[in-house]
Amino acid sequence: MANTNGHSRKTAVVDAETPKVRTTPLNRLALWITRRVGSMGFFLLIFSWTAFWLLWNMFAPKSVRFDPYPGFVLWLFISNMIQLFLMPLIMIGQNLQGRGAEERAKGDYKVNLKSESEIQEIKRQLAEILGRLDELKAANSAK
């Protein structure tokens, strides 16, 4: 771009696009699960389910209890199955999120480099302007 005194200057182009991470349907599922499981809502759901299950099987009439106290074998089995299925999916989702963060960091670095070169150009132009002003002041004071 040319300015009024005939010098050209470059401007940094910022790519605001979100970094793309290769997402297969399974990767999207892992990301979806990672976002949902890592929420307070999911914690409250699991906490409520556990509290209800344990309280029901400790205090309900013996005829309707289905997982006897103190073992809670069925509850332990179901809880462990949930953990076994969720753990790898969460790890996959976190890896994908990490890759996206790395791509964003690379983009930020490129923008920072462009900004630094622009700042250097602005400083050079400012020094040139100040030099010209000093020349004009010296010429005016000599008159």
End-to-end CA gap in the chain: 37
From residue 120, give the alpha-carbon distance in Å to each of 16, 38, 130.
23, 44, 15
pLDDT category of residue 90 using cuts at 50, 70 and 90: confident
**pLDDT > 70? residue 3:** no
Report the distance separating Cα 12 and Cα 32, nearest Å: 35
Q: Is 67 exposed, middle or buried (0-12, 13-18, 19+ CB in 10 A)?
A: middle
Residue 19 has pLDDT above 80, yes or no: no
Question: pTM of the prediction?
Answer: 0.57
User: How many Cβ atoms from other residues are within 10 Å of residue 134's Cβ?
Assistant: 10
Selection from 40, 143, 41, 27 nearest residue 90 by Cα: 27
Q: Which two tokens stand for residue 10?
A: 């470059």
Per the structure block, which two tokens stand in for 37?
């499981």
